[in-house]
Amino acid sequence: MKSDLRRNWVKILSIAVGLVLAGFIIALLLLVVTHPSPSAVVDSLMTKEIQFAIYLSLATSIISTLLCILIAVPAAYALARYNFWGKSFVSTILDMPLALPPLVAGVGLLLLFGTTPFGDFLESIGIVFVFTPLGIIIAQFFVNMPFMLRIMRSTFTDISPRYEYVACTLGCTNLQAIWRVTIPMAAHGFLAGAVITWAKGIGEFGAALMIAGATRMKTETLPISLYLNMSCGELEMAISAAIILMVISVVSLYVFEYFGGSAKF
C-alpha cells in the first residue's frame, strides 16, 4: 500500500477501536432497557419488594456517603496540606480498598464484626453489623471511601494554601479559614466526590453480600434484589432493579463529569 499523508492509519484505527467500544456499551445498556415490556417494568416497580429495595438502597447509600464525607474530608485535607511521618504509606493504605476485591473486604469486615472482642462489644451494646442493614452501610463505606478521599485530596491540593494564609492574616482561625475559604472553593470537587461515592454505594454488592447477606426484605438492596430475583428466575423483577441502577449510574456520571470529577480522580 502506498503511504499517503492524508491517510493516518494510526488515527483511523485508534478512533475505530474507541467507537466499537462505545457501541458495545450502548448495546448492553439498550438490551437491558428493552428486554422486558414497559408494563412489566412498571408492575415490578409497584411490588413491595422492589420498593423496599429502593428504600433500603437510598437509605444505606446516603448514610454511607455522609460517613465517607465525614471521614474522608479531614483525612484528604491532612494528606493535601501537611507533611508527616509515614504520609506516603498512609496514603497508599487509604487507597487500598480501591484495588481490593469487594468480596475480600466483605470477608474482612465479617471477621472484624463477627469474631473479635471488638465486634462482640459492639453487639453487646446493640450495634450489630452482621446480617443487618448496618452491615450494608459499613460495607459501602469501606469500599467507597477512597473515591471521596482521592477526589477531595486532589481538590485540596489544587487550592493554594495561601488562600488560607491570607484568611488567617485577615482574622480567621485555621478552622474558620478552611470553613469560609477552602471548603467553598472545593465545592465542585466535593459535589463530584459525593455523587460518585453515592452512586458506587448504591451499586455495592460484593462486600455487602459477605457481611449483610442476601435476605429478602431485610438486607435486600437493589443489587441484592437483582441477584436474588435472577437466581430464582424472576427476570422482570431483576431487570427492573437493573434499570434503576443503570439510570442512577448514567445521571451520576453526568453530574460527576459536570463538576470536573474525572480530572480530580
Partner 1 sequence: MLTIEHISKDLGEFILDDVSLTVEDGEYFVIIGPTGAGKTILLETIAGVYPPDSGTVVLDGRDVTFVPPRERNITMVYQDYMLFPHLTVAENIGFGLKNRKLPAEEISTKVAEVADIFGIGHLLHRYPDTLSGGEQQRAAISRAIVLEPSILLLDEPLSALDGQTRDRLRIELRRLHAKYKTTIIHITHNFEEVFSLASRVAVMHQGKMMQVGTPDEVFRHPNSEFIAEFVGVQNIFRGTCKTTEGLSEISVEGAENTHIICSSLCTGNTNVTATIRPEDIMVSCTKLESTARNSFAGTITDVADNGSMVRISVDTGLPFIAAVTRQGWQSLEAEIGDTVYLTIMAQSVHIF
| 138 Cβ contact partners less than 8 Å away, ≥ 6 residues apart | 64, 109, 113, 129, 211
User: Among 83, 211, 196, 93, which Cα is nearest to 148's?
Assistant: 196
The three-state secondary structure class of 204 is coil
Cell of 102: 469487594
Give the nearest distance from C-beta 171 to partner 1 in angstroms.
3
Give the nearest distance from C-beta 74 to partner 1 in angstroms.
20
| 236 Cβ contact partners less than 8 Å away, ≥ 6 residues apart | 36, 40, 41, 43, 44
Cβ pair 135, 212 in contact under 8 A: yes
Q: Please tell me the distance from the alpha carbon of residue 222 to that of residue 204, in angstroms, as a whole number.
A: 9
Give the nearest distance from C-beta 85 to partner 1 in angstroms.
14
Among 59, 78, 107, 168, binds partner 1 (CB under 8 A): 168
Among 21, 166, 217, 247, binds partner 1 (CB under 8 A): 166
Give the nearest distance from C-beta 72 to partner 1 in angstroms.
22
Q: DSSP E strands: which ranges in the chain? A: none
Select from 10-18, 136-144, 163-171, 252-260 the region that touches partner 1 (CB under 8 A): 163-171
With binding defined as CB under 8 A, does residue 187 bind partner 1?
Answer: yes
Site size for partner 1, by CB under 8 A?
17
Among 3, 88, 124, 169, binds partner 1 (CB under 8 A): 169
Q: Residue 259: what residue type?
A: F
Select from 22-30, 37-45, 49-57, 164-172 the region that touches partner 1 (CB under 8 A): 164-172
With binding defined as CB under 8 A, does residue 158 bind partner 1?
Answer: no
With binding defined as CB under 8 A, does residue 162 bind partner 1?
Answer: yes
Site string for partner 1, 122-141 (x = CB under 8 A): --------------------
Q: Residue 221: what residue type?
A: T
Cell of 58: 437510598
Which residues contribute to the site for partner 1 (CB under 8 A)? 160, 162-163, 165-173, 176, 181, 184-185, 187
